[in-house]
Structure 1
Amino acid sequence: MSRNGLYAIVAVLAVAVIGFAIYTYQQQQAQPSLEVRIDQQGVSIDGNG
């Protein structure tokens, strides 16, 4: 296998990993979440859903 072919395979794999990371991050941000905090100021509830 030539070096150019090896570089092409590495580049394709790098793009795939970056694309999967971006997709995973977007899916994680889209999920509704709920955060409940109890501190000196009382109870606070934050949610994005």
Structure 2
Amino acid sequence: MSRNGLFAVIAVLAIAVVAFAIYTYQQEQARPGIEVRVDDTGISIDGNG
């Protein structure tokens, strides 16, 4: 494999890692601020505040 091909593979892998990190961060930020649970013990409401 030529040196330019190796650099291209490394660049593609680096871009994929950065894109995955951005996607994961956006998914974490998109979570709702309030969580409501209903179970055997009753109703629980949790917030991010």
TM-score category, normalised to shorter length:
0.7 to 0.9
* Superposition TM-score, scaled by structure 2 size: 0.74
Listed as ranges, the gaps of 5+ residues in structure 2 are none
For residues 1-40 of structure 1, the C-alpha deviation after alignment (integer angstroms, 9 at most, x for no partner) is x521111010000000000000011111112414322111
User: Could you say which structure has the greater relative contact order, defined with CA pairs below 8 angstroms and 6 or more residues apart?
Assistant: 1
Equivalent position of 2:40 in the other structure: 40
Question: Aligned pairs, how many?
Answer: 48
Structure 1 counterpart of 2:42, one-letter code = G
C-alpha displacement at 1:42, in angstroms?
Answer: 0.6
TM-score (norm 1): 0.74
8 Å Cα contact 1:36-1:44 kept in structure 2: yes
- Share of identical aligned residues, percent? 29
